Amino acid sequence: MNFGGSVLSPDWPDVESLRLAAESVRELVRRKHEVLVVVGGGGPARRYIEAGRELGGAEALLHELGIGITRLNARLLAMALGELSEPRPPTTFREAVQMMLRGKVPVMGGTVPGHTTDAVAAMAAKATRSSLLVYVTDVDGVYTADPKLDPTARKLERIGVEELVKMVGSRVSPGMRTILDPVAVKVLQQLRIRTVVIGKGEIPRIPLIAEGEKHSGTEILMG
């Protein structure tokens, strides 16, 4: 499961959203689902990256700034989960799986420079052979165009992964903004797991959506 930074920390950490996210993870665990959570960096990550860019930081170092913030956000969600998780975010999938084997919910931020936490979530889903991948974003699904820029944009109930590839392009720059990052979409192309993109309003319903109930977001159809 991926909680976008734009949801949990749009400008600054949003305690209410962090609580909501923690509650839905708690309910999933109560319902005996195994959960791995990935958290984005949001506004603070973008600001750090902008500051670093103005100071002449190299691309890889700008990505590292973003990773640092995603891990801080992960710590906040882990804090909200208390005993269900552990304070230190795993930095590799191996560490995340080890945490799951200890019966805890891993809450990760980024891993290595060059992609966003969207890609981390897709890679984590692949590494753990998950049966469902959920993206919670500030836009409540995949639209025909960016709804913040184009008033005629329409939300899609479903989209084929190949169409999504065309939509997001292929270049990743530090702090970039597309509904899902191109690296994530490339990983999804190789996956055969149910993937949904939903908005913040659906957070309390994630446990039901995981069990097949309808939602107001977008289903990504594989191959």
Binding site for ligand UTP (CB under 6 A): 4-6, 40-42, 45, 63, 66-67, 70, 110-117, 120, 174-177
Q: What is the Cα–Cα distance from 9 to 7, expressed in whole angstroms?
A: 6
82 vs 130 by CB, closer to ligand UTP: 130
Question: What is the smallest separation between the CB atom of 199 and ligand UTP, expressed in angstroms?
Answer: 13
Compare residues 154 and 177 and give the one whose CB is closer to ligand UTP: 177
Report the residue number, 31 or 148, with the smaller CB distance to ligand UTP.
148
Nearest-approach distance from CB 154 to ligand UTP, in angstroms: 21
d(C-alpha 25, C-alpha 105), whole Å: 9
* Residue number with CB closer to ligand UTP (15 or 211): 15
What is the Cα gyration radius of the chain?
16
Name residues whose C-beta falls within 8 Å of residue 124's C-beta, 6 or more positions apart in sequence: 36, 38, 93, 96, 108, 130
Count Cβ atoms below 10 Å from residue 65 Cβ, excluding itself: 23
Q: By beta-carbon distance, which residue lies closest to ligand UTP?
A: 66
3-state secondary structure of 198: strand
Give the amino acid at 28.
L
- Residue keyed to tokens 């995603």: 70
Q: How far is the CB of 22 from ligand UTP (least distance, A)?
A: 17
Taking the complex as a whole, how short is the minimal distance between the CB of residue 19 and ligand UTP, in angstroms?
18
